[in-house]
Amino acid sequence: MHLLNDTALEQAVKVLQEASRIEFYGNGGSGIIAMDAYHKFMRTGISCIAHTDSHFQIMGAGLLTKEAVVIAISHSGSNKGLLEALEVA
C-alpha cells in the first residue's frame, strides 16, 4: 500500500530543510504530538518551537516570516483556535 506521493514528500522535505524556522501547532492530544515533534527537530539543531495553546499559536503566527513553516497537527481538522491561527499564518 502506497499512501504518500514520493514527489510531494520530497517537496515537503525540501520546504522543511529551507525553512528559517518551523512552528508546530496542536491542541489537546495533538499538542503532545506537536511537543514531541519540537523535541525531535530541536535535537537536530533546527530552529523550531511548539505552541499548544490557541492564543500563543495566533500570536506566533502573526510573527512569522515568509521563510518560516507551520506544521499544524489536528485529529479532527476542525479546531477553531487552530484554524484561526492558520488563517493568520
Taking only the tens place, the pLDDT of each residue in 47-87 is: 999 999 999 999 999 999 999 999 999 999 999 999 999 99
In the DSSP assignment, the letter for residue 23 is E
pLDDT exceeds cutoff 90 at 4: no
For cell 502573526, name the residue.
62
Options 3.40.30.10, 3.40.50.10490, 1.20.1250.20, 1.10.3720.10; CATH of 6-88: 3.40.50.10490
The rounded distance, in Å, linking the Cα atoms of 72 and 74 is 7
The rounded distance, in Å, linking the Cα atoms of 89 and 75 is 20
pTM of the complete model beyond 0.85: yes
Do 26 and 39 contact (CB within 8 A), yes or no?
no
pLDDT exceeds cutoff 70 at 1: no
pLDDT tens-digit profile of 5-55? 999 999 999 999 999 999 999 999 999 999 999 999 999 999 999 999 999
